[in-house]
Every structure is written in structure tokens, then in C-alpha cells.
Amino acid sequence: MTTLRRLGVEEELLLGDVATGEVLPVAREVLAECGRLGAGEGAGEGAALKHEFFLAQVEVATAPQVEVAAVRRELADGRARVAGAGATMGVAPLAVPGPVLATAASGREVSPGDRYAAVEDHYGETARASLMCAMHVHVEVAGPEEGVAVIDRVRPWVPVLLALSTNSPFWHGSDTGHASWRSRVWNTWPTGGPAELFGDAAGYRARVDSMVAGGAALDEGLVNLDVRLSHRYPTVELRVADVCTDLDDAMVVAALTRALVGHFAARADEPPAAWRVDELRGAAWRAARFGLDDRLVSPVSHELVAAAEAVHQLTDLVAASLEAAGDADLVRRGLEALLTRGTGAARQREVVAAGGSLTDVVADVRRRTVRS
């Protein structure tokens, strides 16, 4: 492509009681109120607000944008619209990857509709246990061949993006000991996680068709690979990140994702690095377990290195792409902040370490969700 690649972000938000922090199955009411206020799904300019699998969550989806700053504005506006509608019923959006507090059965109520019912019926407890919120980053590609070239080459760098976004240490009232427990739950889906090399678009299509034919994916929309071709848009979609409470963190992940896509699209004639899926799963587990607080698997050497070194290997790799997009300063400042103060998971743990309860963690998340 000769122009700057557009990108878009989809982020999922929980809906929580302002007083107790408990997640509530009120997406229908909140989205209806958004519509009444002229801020509903597809209303006017800005991000679209959508139902998700559970009634205790909504999705904010931006339009394709050239500037990362425009993506940030749309996400902030979408969060504010949900907050404004929810305020009338004592509900607030929570940019957190999973329920921090113990969750009543009503909080896991599935949204109505034939497709959601089919998903629940097909996947059973895998689906019912998946009340979680991720951030998906779409980056424009010229076509399926370019997209698959990127998918094959970006694989070892995906765990570093996960480490930067880690934001789910607490889950249904328990400390998981992980920085991103959401990513571990997500990997219980039969098509979740990294994939073998596809080779080309035909190879990708054959594997997708096989997953659907074998029932691992109910349909193409449920091919839940860490990195995939979107079945709706002309994009590569990276689906590994936790939803970030602070939008500054989210924009670092989004900008780095676009830079990786651009970098590897320009190197489609070079062979992809030889990584086994078991190696990739191990690297992703380590990113999920420790975030930036311990060593990560180096995408360059396959060896354990300090988290900051793995992050710097990533920024060195995509430095030219970041400069070309005008994102270098944004990423530099954002990474300095992340490496100094830690990820969202570290922030949640700090609240508890200072004597706060998990209810205090939720209150802090609520404030920062809209303040971002």
C-alpha cells in the first residue's frame, strides 16, 4: 500500500453498579437510553455502540482512522456516551477485562438472539464462562495474500503486545496470580491462541474451512485466532490484548500493532521466523503471567530477557514504521510510562497493596474508564 494504513479498535466494556461495583445485565437498557439520547448504535459520527455476547457488556467500535488520535477520541466519546446513558440507572462502564468481584448468575446472562443461543448451545460452559472484555485492533491490508504474510510473520511479537496490555489480575473475587487472566480464559476456546504458518491465502482459507467443518468454529466469525483476517473488513485483526482502562495504554498497543503490520507487509518476500506453536504458547503464557514485571521470551533470540529489553526489541524493529505514521513520540512516551508505573494489572494490585478492597479496585477502574 502506498498510503498510511487505516486502523480501527473494538473494545468491550463491562456494565457495573455504581454503588457496589457488581456487573449488571443491563446492556439492552443502556443501549436503549443511548438511542434515546441520540447516541445509540450507528447514531451520528463517532464510535458505534453494540451488544455483545453477555448482557453485562457492550462494545465500542471505532470507524477506520488514519490518525491514532482520532481512534482515541472515538473510544473516549463512546465510553462517555455509555456513561451518560448508564448514569440515569446507576450504571457505569468499566474498562476492565473481566469481573473483579464475585459475579451473580444474573451477571452472566447471555444476550437474546438466535446466534448467541447457538454459540451457547455449541460451546457450553466454554461460552458461559467467557464474560470477558478484550481490545481488538484492525489494520488495513491490501488483500488476503498480504494479510496472511503479516499473520505468518508477526507471531513471535504478539506476546509482547499482550504483556503491554495486561489488565486482569483479579477474576470473580479471586487473585489469579496472573497479570492477564482473561487471555488464559480466552485460550480455552478451541480455535484460540497462535496458529501454525499458513503460507498463503489458500492455506489460510483451507485451515479456516477445516475448523468450521470440524466444529471447532461454529462459523468463520468464531475462528478466534490471536491474529486473523477479518471476515467482515479488509483488515488483519490482532485479538490478543486485554481491554485497557487507560486509553493512553490502548493507543500504544494500537500504534505498535499498525507498525507491525506495516513492517511485515513490506517484508512478505522474506521467510517467516521459525517458531513452533508450543513456543508461542509458552511465550504468551509468560506475558500473561507476569506482564512487564518479569522476564519475557525474546522474539529475537527465543531466550528469556528483561521485559524492557523485549519491548525495546519491538520498538527497534518497527521504528521506521512508527516514524512514517507519526506515532513514534506517542509510543515513546507511552512506553516510558508503562515501564515506569506498570500496566493496568500493576495499578489494580497497587490499590489492594495500599489497603484497598476489590470494591475499591472497581471504583478506581470506573473513574479511570471515563477520565481517559
Quote the mean pLDDT of the chain.
Answer: 95
Domain 7-371 has CATH 3.30.590.20: yes
Tell me the Cα Rg of the chain.
19
Number of Cβ atoms within 10 Å of the Cβ of 351? 18
Reported pTM: 0.96
Distance of CA 161 to the CA centre of its chain: 10
Q: CA–CA separation, 315 vs 322, rounded Å?
A: 8
Could you give the CA distance from residue 82 to residue 67 in angstroms, rounded to a whole number?
23
What is the reported pLDDT for 180?
98
pLDDT at 42: 42
| 49-57 average pLDDT score | 95
Cell 464474560, located at residue: 131
What letter represents residue 224's amino acid? N
pLDDT of residue 203: 98
Residue with cell 491465502: 201
Closest CA to 48 of 260, 322, 232: 232
pLDDT digits (tens, 9 = 90+) for 184-193: 999 999 999 9
Give the model confidence (pLDDT) of 9-36 as tens digits: 999 999 999 999 999 999 999 999 998 8
Going by pLDDT thresholds of 50, 70 and 90, the confidence category of residue 45 is low
Ranges of each domain in the chain: 7-371
**pLDDT of the residue at 3:** 79
Between CA 23 and CA 21 the distance in angstroms is 6
